[in-house]
């Protein structure tokens, strides 16, 4: 029978997957706008493509962390306290990026706008890199002790495997953002975005293959869930080929769906592969945190479940409606600023 612990693990997983899918193209747009935009009007056009959405997309992260805190307080406490420095950089990046979106158009001096454009670039680069490192560290294992304390050194979190995971996720978000630009922009900007997205196809394919191979040797995901991971791997290859096919045929909407599905498959396979573990201990497997020893009491989970089921449809409905309202393509020739 489907337990409340499993329900909340599924909900936390969906929230993180939704965040990476939605905020992934925001990060990609933030990274490409500084270099693919040839002038201020074009850079503004890139930013305007995500202007109505980026702040709502970040709510998925707040909800995911909040759900972790409420449903799995031991997971929340051990992970966030043990990787405190990374989360500080993550928050500073997200705060700086949000401020830059609001401030870059307040003064018409080019130096002012250039400064905020760099903040947008780094504020969009660091979060997917940090999340890729953290997700990879979750799979590889961290030094969690018997009392659920984690005393992780630098090399425990930042190493060749986790950096590869961080770079892979960052490049996937960059690619996802470029394809998003093809369905939200017009004329030369759209064509340039599609061209760069095509150039990233072999690069990202190589990164995904390298990281998948490293995951096979560095983690227990394939040994614990071999059939699931193999199915996901081969489905991912098929979806990636479809993305390339649709890009070459200029079927931008379908290409965006495929790039999003690649991110969904990548992140969901991490949570599915870890289940029922939420934090692998590299010291002793018996010290690992699971959906059982890291969870809140049954009564708390039951009350939170009622609230989540009641409120979630309204939140999803509002966000779907906002995407529908702002579905029109952005014309870089129009002077507008979100």
Reported for 149-156, long-range contacts at CB under 8 A and 24+ positions apart, including other chains, are 149/78, 149/82, 150/78, 150/79, 150/81, 150/82, 150/83, 150/279, 151/82, 152/82, 152/83, 156/282
Q: Which of 36-40, 121-125, 209-213, 258-262 has the lowest mean pLDDT?
A: 36-40
- Tell me whether residue 198 is in a domain: yes
- Tell me whether residue 276 is in a domain: yes
Q: Would you say residue 26 has pLDDT above 90? A: yes
d(CA 296, CA 281): 20
Structure tokens, 192: 């340039």
Average pLDDT, the chain: 90
Q: Which of 35-39, 170-174, 240-244, 322-326 has the lowest mean pLDDT?
A: 322-326
Q: Which pLDDT tens digit goes with each residue over 166-179?
A: 999 999 999 999 99
- Tell me whether residue 326 is in a domain: no
Number of domains in the chain: 1
Ramachandran region, residue 7 (left: φ > 0; alpha: ψ -120 to 50; beta: rest): alpha
276: containing domain: 4-296
d(CA 60, CA 49): 19
d(CA 147, CA 67): 22
Q: Which of 1-5, 71-75, 282-286, 296-300 has the lowest mean pLDDT?
A: 1-5
- The whole-number pLDDT of residue 320 equals 85
- Tell me whether residue 322 is in a domain: no
Mean pLDDT of 15-38: 92
**CA-CA-CA-CA torsion for 130, 197, 185, 328, nearest 10 degrees?**
-70
- Tell me whether residue 320 is in a domain: no
- Tell me whether residue 312 is in a domain: no
- Tell me whether residue 127 is in a domain: yes
Q: Would you say residue 110 has pLDDT above 90? A: no
- The whole-number pLDDT of residue 334 equals 57
- The whole-number pLDDT of residue 163 equals 96
- The DSSP result for 25-78, as a single string, is HHHHHHHHHHHH--SHHHHHHHHHHHTTTHHHHHHHHHHHHHHHHHH-HHHHHH
CATH of the domain at 8: 1.20.1630
Percent with pLDDT over 70 in the chain: 97
- The whole-number pLDDT of residue 1 equals 65
Instruction: Please report which confidence band the pLDDT of residue 333 belongs to, taking 50, 70 and 90 as the band edges.
Output: low
- The DSSP result for 227-290, as a single string, is HHHHHHHHHHHHHHHHHHHHHHTT-HHHHHHHHHHHHHHHHHHHHHHHTTEEE-BSS-GGG-EE
- The whole-number pLDDT of residue 309 equals 86
Q: Would you say residue 327 has pLDDT above 80? A: no
- Tell me whether residue 221 is in a domain: yes
Q: Would you say residue 331 has pLDDT above 80? A: no
Q: Which pLDDT tens digit goes with each residue over 216-241?
A: 999 888 888 888 899 999 999 999 99
Mean pLDDT of 16-36: 93
């Amino acid at each position: 029978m489907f337990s409340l612990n499993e329900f909340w693990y599924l909900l936390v997983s969906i929230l993180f997957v939704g965040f990476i899918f939605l905020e992934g193209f925001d990060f990609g747009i933030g990274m490409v706008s500084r270099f693919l935009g040839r002038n201020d009007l074009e850079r503004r056009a890139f930013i305007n493509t995500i202007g109505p959405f980026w702040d709502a997309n970040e709510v998925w992260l707040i909800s995911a962390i909040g759900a972790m805190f409420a449903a799995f307080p031991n997971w929340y406490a051990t992970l966030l306290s043990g990787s405190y420095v990374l989360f500080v950089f993550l928050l500073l990046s997200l705060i700086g990026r949000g401020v830059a979106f609001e401030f870059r158009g307040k003064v018409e001096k080019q130096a002012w706008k250039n400064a905020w454009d760099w903040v947008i670039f780094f504020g969009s680069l660091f979060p997917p890199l940090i999340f890729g490192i953290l997700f990879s560290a979750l799979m590889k294992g961290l030094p969690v002790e018997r009392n659920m304390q984690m005393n992780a050194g630098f090399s425990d979190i930042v190493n060749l495997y986790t950096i590869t995971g961080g770079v892979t996720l960052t490049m996937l978000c960059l690619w996802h953002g470029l394809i998003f630009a093809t369905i939200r922009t017009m004329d030369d900007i759209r064509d340039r975005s599609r061209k760069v997205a095509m150039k990233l196809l072999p690069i990202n394919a190589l990164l995904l293959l390298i990281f998948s191979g490293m995951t096979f040797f560095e983690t227990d995901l394939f040994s614990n869930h071999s059939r699931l991971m193999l199915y996901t791997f081969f489905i991912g290859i098929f979806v990636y080929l479809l993305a390339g096919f649709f890009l070459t045929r200029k079927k931008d909407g379908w290409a965006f769906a495929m790039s999003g599905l690649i991110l969904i498959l990548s992140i969901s396979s991490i949570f599915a592969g870890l289940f029922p573990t939420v934090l692998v201990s590299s010291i002793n497997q018996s010290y690992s945190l699971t959906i059982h020893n890291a969870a809140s009491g049954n009564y708390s989970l039951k009350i939170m479940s009622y609230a989540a089921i009641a409120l979630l449809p309204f939140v999803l409905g509002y966000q779907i409606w906002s995407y529908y309202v702002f579905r029109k393509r952005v014309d870089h020739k129009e002077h507008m600023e979100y």
